[in-house]
Amino acid sequence: MRYDIRLRLDHSYPAASDHVRNLLRLLPSDRPNQRVQRRLLTITPPPQERREMVDYFGNATTLVAWHRPVEAISFHLSVRAERIAVSAMDISPRLNALAPEVMAAGMAPDSPLHFRSPSPRIPPEPEIATFAQSVCQPGQTVREVVAALGQAIHSQMTFDAEATDVMTAPATAFAARRGVCQDFAQIMICGLRALGIPAGYVSGFIRTTPPPGMRRLAGVDAMHGWVMAWCGITQGWVEYDPTNAQWAGEDYITVAIGRDYADAAPVRGALRTAGAQSAAHAVDMVAL
């Protein structure tokens, strides 16, 4: 499935901010299940510094900085990308046979060895580990465990945009049973790692579908977060969305991956200002 995607991110500051420096992961790249035909990131006002690079995990990264006062910054993204359908066949090993395959993997950036241990935003959490273990059934394949845990988290959690923020720990969101896609994904990653399944965070876009009989509105699609899990040498990486209890298929476009949200955050940075800043975003993802 091919898409035209447009994103607008607006940041405004009550007092003009100087010495703003941002690290952006907004540009999708080619991946095994994805092809990018074109991409353009426009920034207003233009930064005094801008440098394009690729980080360790293969994410396109843009470093920008402003050295004069700015009251607002807008990021405009235009992308044409194709999501390639992958087989739904389960060719993963039993869960108890996964560990030797993990240890046999190399040390390339997409190696499962980078995604099996705790990371800065996802430390070990006993309650999540116990919950993940309670979901497993004897004899399940790794892919079956991934789906079972994702569905269990979806059934236990309530989507609530007011319950958490980007700094909320997985244990806090899980204890409240409330959160947003970032929380659903990081809770699932924590549980998978507790079971010995390497897992990471995926940031990207998801196409929304209007209710039957309703027309599709512009700007209502969203940036989203979901999970990548390694299911053995033969199966490789699969992607699951616990927020929607489904495999991440043709309605998804990946922007960045990492061990947790911090590695794949769309915008990170530092600034000097006074008062609270405001931000707004709109995404339009049109199937071609």
**Angle, helix 126-135 to helix 142-156, in steps of 10 degrees:** 120
Least confident of 5-14, 24-33, 216-225, 253-262: 216-225
Per-residue model confidence as pLDDT tens digits over 130-140: 999 999 999 99
Residues 9 and 150 in one domain: no
**Residue 103 lies inside a defined structural domain of this protein:** yes
Residues 79 and 134 in one domain: no
Residues 75 and 124 in one domain: no
Q: What is the DSSP letter of 145?
A: H
Q: What is the CATH number of the domain that holds 27?
A: 2.60.40.2250
Residues 61 and 113 in one domain: no
C-alpha atoms less than 13 angstroms from C-alpha of 26 in its C-beta half-sphere: 28
**Averaged confidence pLDDT in the chain:** 93
Q: Which pLDDT band holds residue 3 (cuts at 50, 70, 90)?
A: very high
Residues 126 and 153 in one domain: yes
Share of the chain above pLDDT 70, in %: 97
Per-residue model confidence as pLDDT tens digits over 107-129: 899 999 999 999 999 999 999 99
Q: What is the CATH number of the domain that holds 212?
A: 3.10.620.30
**Residue 201 lies inside a defined structural domain of this protein:** yes
Per-residue model confidence as pLDDT tens digits over 212-245: 776 655 545 778 999 999 999 999 999 999 999 9
Residues 105 and 244 in one domain: yes
Residues 247 and 156 in one domain: yes
pLDDT of residue 217: 52
pLDDT of residue 216: 58
Please answer whether residues 263 and 47 qualify as being in contact, where contact means their C-beta atoms are separated by less than 8 angstroms.
no
pTM for this predicted structure: 0.94
Domain extent for 36: 2-83+267-273
Residues 61 and 101 in one domain: no
